[in-house]
Structures are given as structure tokens and as C-alpha cells.
Amino acid sequence: MEAFAPGSVTAFFAPTADGDESMGASFAVEDGIVADVRPFEDSDADSDAAVTLDGEPTDFEPVEFALDALDVSARADLTIEIPIGRGFGASGAATLATALAANAEFGLGRSREELVEVAHRAEVRAGTGLGDVFVQEMGGLVVGDGETRRSFDRADPLEYVSFGSIATEEALADEALMARIEREGAASLDALGDDPALADVTREGWRFARAIDLPTDEVRETVASAEAEGGVASMAMVGETVFAVGVDGVLPNRTAVCPDGAELR
């Protein structure tokens, strides 16, 4: 059974009081991850891996944790359309798609809400994310305050470029950085209006990124180049990736906000 989950980009965030979720603003993107889940058979034992990524065996902790939580003996073959470790929520998309596909493949009868929670807990346990799966389940532009999440129907095109990865596990474990994130993320959330445009979120995201002192020189220069062309740009959280709206042909990769959430295929 196959399932697809869109990638997601977080413009700004802050951890909730319990540290297990996040508040902030994120949006789903049309590119994502397909998970093909089937029973783990004796012939699979030679690969010594329950997960493959574009055909290659790999260790993918949150996916493995989700399969364990669902209590199934399965393998998940992942086909990826987004960069890994560069702020596109790849681990969340892979884990959510795997949970949806496993539920259908094995007839588990879990509700969508339960499967999202399984994927979320797997991400928290692995230290790879705090809220990506909620955005990927809903689709569109998602703004949350830690208690409620609102999804706005957006389909804006955007461009992006990735220069490198930032280890989410290390960022979430950096106490000084997380203290800045908590302060500035709450301020960014307060600054948003009731019906924010993607450009508004991007603009506030760039203020947030600079306030927590995360952008590299290359990121700063690329944001400036997009702004010089009349666009609005910022940095994906957490990755050395610049995304821009209101531009055409400025950055090498193009996608769009995905208005729909994860689904079976």
C-alpha cells in the first residue's frame, strides 16, 4: 500500500510548554515523500533493513519507531521528492506516509488522528521534529498557537535553493538557541494578522531567522538577491535553505504550497 505526504517548510516556531509540540507558521509543499509499505518477508532479511530510501537500505529512526508503535512487521520503501535535512520536514513526511500506508496495508482500523499522533510521537522520540506532521496532515498554510491550529487555503508558487543541512536533533538540543527561538517565535506569532498571506509569513520568518542568528552569509546574500528582484524570502527552519515568494526564475527550484494533506495512493 502506498501513501503520500507533502513536505513542509516552517517559517518560524517556538516549543510549547511541555516541549513536545511547537507553535508557529508552516506550509505544506507539493513535493513530498511516497511510502510503499508491505509485510516484512523472509526474503527481506538479507537486506537487514526495514526501510529503504530511493531503493537503498537506510536507518530512518522515526519511520522505524512508527512501525514499532503500530506493532507491525513491515518494510517501508520511501521515494523522496524533497531534500533531506534541509528544512522540508522530510522525516515527518516519511513517517506520516508510512503510518497511513501501514494502517491500510494491515487493516489496523486506526483513525487518522491516531495515526498522526503515532507519527508525531515517533518524530519527538527520534528528535527530528516537533510539529511537521500536523502541517503535512492538514495541508495549506498552517498557523498554530500550541492549542489550536488553523489551516489557510493557499496555493502560492515559490522558489527555493538548498546549500546544506542543519541537524535538527542538534538544534533542538541547544538550550541557548532554543531559548532564543522560544522568545522570538512567540513574538512572530503575535505579529501575524488573522488572515496572513504567505508573503506576510515569509517576511516575519526572516525577522525571526535573523533574531535567532541562524542565517549563514550565503543565506543572507541569497535572500537579498530575491528581495532585489521584488520578492520576499526567508530561511527554512531548520535547514540552510532559502525560499522565496513573488519571484520568477530567481532561485533554481520551483514548487507551490500544497492545499491538501497526506493521502493514500
pLDDT of residue 129: 82
Per-residue pLDDT of 176-188, as tens digits, reads 888 899 999 999 9
pLDDT of residue 167: 67
The more confidently predicted of residues 170 and 239 is 239
pLDDT of residue 238: 82
pLDDT of residue 20: 66
Q: Under CATH, which architecture does the 1-265 domain have?
A: 2-Layer Sandwich (3.30)
| Average pLDDT value over all residues in the chain | 91
Per-residue pLDDT of 79-96, as tens digits, reads 999 998 899 999 999 999
Question: 157 and 255 in contact (C-beta within 8 Å)?
Answer: yes
pLDDT of residue 254: 96
pLDDT of residue 53: 93
Q: How confident is the model at residue 260 (pLDDT cuts 50, 70, 90)?
A: very high
Percent of the chain with pLDDT over 90: 75
Mean pLDDT of 243-258: 97
Per-residue pLDDT of 221-242, as tens digits, reads 999 999 999 999 999 998 899 9
Question: 222 and 67 in contact (C-beta within 8 Å)?
Answer: no
What span, in angstroms and rounded, lies between the C-alpha atoms of 176 and 236? 19
What span, in angstroms and rounded, lies between the C-alpha atoms of 20 and 245? 30
Bin 101: left if φ > 0, else alpha if -120 < ψ < 50, else beta.
alpha
Mean pLDDT of 181-204: 93
Per-residue pLDDT of 115-124, as tens digits, reads 999 999 999 9
- pLDDT of 265 over the 80 cut: yes
How many H helices and E strands in the chain?
Answer: 8, 12
Element (H, E) at 8: strand 2-15
pLDDT of residue 117: 96
- pLDDT of 108 over the 90 cut: yes
Angle between helices 112-126 and 90-105 (to 10 degrees): 140
Per-residue pLDDT of 141-156, as tens digits, reads 999 887 789 999 999 9
Per-residue pLDDT of 36-58, as tens digits, reads 999 987 555 555 568 999 999 99
pLDDT of residue 168: 62
What is the value of pTM for the model shown? 0.91
Q: Which residue is it, cell 500536523? A: 134
